[in-house]
Amino acid sequence: MPPGLRPSSLVKVRKQVESNLSSLLGKPVGVLQLTVFAMPCGCVGVSLETRNLVKEDVEVFGPKIKELVRSAARRILEDKPNVYYARLAPSGYDVVSVTGRVACDECREELEDAADLLTF
Amino acid sequence: MFSIPTPGDPDATERLLGWFSDESEVTRVYMGLPSLGTGRATVVQVDVDTVETVAETCDSHDVDLEVVMNPLCTAEVISSRDGFSEFERTLSELDDVGVERLVLSDPLLIQRAVERGFRVSVSCISEVNTPQRARYYDELGVDEITLDTNVNRRLDVIEAIASEVSARLRVIVNEGCLPDCPYRPYHFCLFSHATRAGAGVTEDSYYVRCVSERVNNPVLLVQQPFVRPEDLDEYRRLGVETFKIAGRANSIRWIKRAVEAYLRREYDGNLLDILDCPTTLRHLIYLDNGELDGLLERAGRCDQRCSECGFCEEVAERAVRFRGGLADAARAASVESG
């Protein structure tokens, strides 16, 4: 098992990214769940289920948030995502999750056009 | 007297009641029946056959079963003959399997159920929060009124309602919703639809927002209208006869921990461990119950002029601690500013 996928490592990464997001934004940002996923098409990725993160945070701090997600994804997947996106609640205000994904070509194009996603 | 939740699975109910078989204070168990929609997620498939099995289990443990059908939105039931006929049919089926107690929200449905001989407890979703509203339901002949949780900290209002009605009063003790939550009616409306079979609701935006509100401002945790296990006797003195433990969408282990705390009248630890909805917060935040002694004395007579008071902020300062990455970030920020 790659070191990044060991349970203790996953727990540590979740905690660190929660701390770093909170420090970056100057407000508490909860990460309820860190999910590592693999899709039938071949996409893999890391997703963070967030609370108290809003669209404006991503618009302003997108590059820095991307850096945090990239760092977490690299530790876990040992690969660098090629798509980063925030999933928005239907109101378009709250960010439900942020994801770094090593996406296949087809998904990469679709993700960039998805109405409920904010790529950054 | 306690009414405790079951997710609705017969085996889980048997195990749950086994744990409390020597507890005479546990007199009722409640479960959701989502055919008309309800106020909480129903985590297992439940129909009248399931209710019958759970009712037999309750009977063998000498406790009453309450069936909860408390959608906020009842338009599909009330506004068509078919919808109302389905409700009547459900009442007949429940009657046939021996159910006597219902928890309902809509006054028109309550009236019909009372006429048909059911013992009805008014749901908290009906927002009984004044003596006048309580009288409406009392005049319908309900057995019990579950108060709007937003009056849990309005002891004068509870006392007034108790003096005005003949129905028993019930308080939900461990609901962890936001104080005077602005999302509450809309969230319950969402649940009304989401809990029905075949509903296409996949997103719960209110849940996302309500957790975020508390992560952003933990003082809200102190202001939530929970009743601490240590404070039950104060509510008894006001005329409350029944305490309902919320949590029917949780595991029976979670339910056991909450029920035990209230039976013991004390909980040593993170109060969020036993507060329902949202349960995930307990992993992010520690609300030290030991630091909440004396809260009710002041908060129970609160006039809500928060800008002139600051009491809840003082309590939160002592009682609320971030956990995990949030604690690390708070420590780092304090070192930086100090």
ipTM: 0.84
* CB < 8 Å to A53, chain B: 212
Q: Is A31 in the B-facing interface, judged by CB distances under 8 Å? A: yes
- In this prediction the pTM is 0.91
Per the structure, the count of domains in chain B is: 1
**Which residue range forms the structural domain that includes residue A25?**
3-119
Nearest residue to A21 (alpha-carbon basis) of B337, B209, B326:
B326
Picking from A89, A90, A92, A4, the residue whose alpha carbon sits closest to that of residue A44 is A4
CATH number for the domain that contains residue B42: 3.20.20.70
Res B125: pLDDT:
96
Residue B69 lies in a domain: yes
List CB contacts (< 8 A) between B324 and chain A: 14-15, 18-19
> For residue B58, what pLDDT is reported?
96
Q: At what angle do helices B107-115 and B131-140 cross, to 10 degrees?
A: 30
Confirm if B124 and B148 have CB atoms less than 8 A apart: yes
Run means of pLDDT, 10 residues per run, chain B, 338 residues: 95 96 94 85 84 96 96 91 93 97 97 98 97 98 98 97 98 95 93 78 86 96 97 97 95 96 97 92 96 95 92 96 94 84
Q: Do B322 and A19 touch (CB under 8 A)?
A: no
The DSSP output letter for B174 is -
Query: Which domain, by its residues, includes B232?
Result: 2-207+223-268
- Report yes or no: A22 at the B interface, CB cutoff 8 Å: yes
What local confidence, expressed as pLDDT, does residue B37 receive? 81
Q: With 80 as the cut, is the pLDDT of residue A2 above it?
A: no
Q: Which of A26, A52, A90 sits opposite B215 (nearest CB)?
A: A52
- pLDDT for res B158: 98
Q: Which residue has the higher pLDDT, A39 or B41?
A: A39
- pLDDT tier at A12, thresholds 50, 70, 90: very high
Minimal Cα–Cα distance from A28 to chain B, Å?
6
What one-character DSSP code corresponds to residue B247? Answer: -
| Domain count for chain A | 1
| A94, closest residue in chain B (CA to CA) | B209
Q: Is the confidence at residue A97, as pLDDT, over 90?
A: yes
